[in-house]
Structure 1
Amino acid sequence: MKYLMLIYGNETVWNSLPPADLAALIDRVDAFNQELRESGELVMAEGLVPRARSVRTGAGAPVVTDGPYLEAKEYVGSMFVVDVESEDRALEIAKSYPGIRFAEGVGGGLEVWPLMVRGR
């Protein structure tokens, strides 16, 4: 089963990290991704450009706004997809993600979403 991991962060917190701490965190995330690649569980991992747009219906027509949440302090900063045998394994991976373990408050959090599979 494939799971999408949405990684939340706060730009103010990330920008306040000393350069050595940020470099150490990036190294840990790179090692984390490499371990998942080697196990065959990592499908993809990508950072997101912090300029999300939201398209919703308003006044009878689609409206594009900044989004998804204008006042949010945290935003989705990156994501990865794993293909694992169980939800337990997906949650184990999520709990071991370096960004939420590095320093209190730095990682922001991580959402785990099962992906739909056609034909099921």
Structure 2
Amino acid sequence: MKYLCLAYYDPAEFAAMPPADKKALVSQCPPKDAQLKATGQLRVSASLGEPAIRLQPRSGKTQKIDGPFTETKEVVGGFFIIDAANAEEAIKTASLHPAATLGEQASWRIDMHPIGFFEQYEGKPA
């Protein structure tokens, strides 16, 4: 089963960190990312840019709304997809991501969602 993992953070808390603390925190991310990649279960990983854009139907037309949209102060800063045999294995694997183990002072966290159907479109003819 595949799992979509959304990595959240609080931009205000991250920005308020002293530069030396921020640098120390961020320097710990590459080794964590390497551990996650070494599992062989990582399918895709990316950081997300701001601002987000929402498309939604309204009065029979597609309406564009600029984000962020979360009801809390956290925003999605990145995502990754892992392939795991079960939820326990997915949790173990996702726990290697920096957002699961570092950055408590910036409110880093991960939400995991099982993916019921997954189709990769890259490289397929249109």
SS of alignment partner, residue 85 of structure 1: coil
In the alignment, is residue 28 of structure 1 matched against residue 22 of structure 2? no
**Following TM superposition, by how much is the alpha carbon of 1:68 offset from its aligned partner in structure 2, in angstroms?**
5.4
Structure 1 unaligned segments of length 5 or more: list them.
Answer: none
Distance 1:118-1:44 versus aligned 2 partners, 3 A rule: closer
Once the two structures are overlaid, the 10-residue window that deviates more, 98-107 or 3-12, is 98-107
Structure 2's unaligned 5+ residue stretches are 120-126
**Over 4 Å off, 4+ runs:** none
Match of 1:78?
A: 78
Relative to structure 1, the CA distance from residue 71 to residue 35 in structure 2 (aligned partners, 3 Å threshold; closer, same or farther) is closer
Deviates further, 37-46 or 23-32? 23-32
**Deviation of 1:34 (Å):** 0.5
Counterparts of 1:98 and 1:83 in 2: how far apart (Å)? Answer: 18
Contact 2:9 2:76 in 1 (8 A): yes
Distance, in Å, in 2 between the alignment partners of 1:88 and 1:57 is 37
| Residue 18 (str. 1) matches residue 18 (str. 2) | yes
Residue pairs, 1:1-120, within 5 angstroms: 1-67=1-67, 69=69, 72-117=72-117
How many positions carry a matched residue from both structures?
A: 119
Q: Is the 8 A contact 1:100 1:107 kept in 2?
A: no
- Under a length normalisation based on structure 1, what TM-score does the superposition of the two structures give? 0.82
Identity of aligned residues (%): 28
TM-score, normalised via structure 2 length? 0.78
Change (3 A) 1:15 1:28: same
Q: Distance in 1 between matches of 2:39 and 2:94?
A: 15
Instruction: Give the secondary structure class of the aligned counterpart of 1:99.
Output: helix
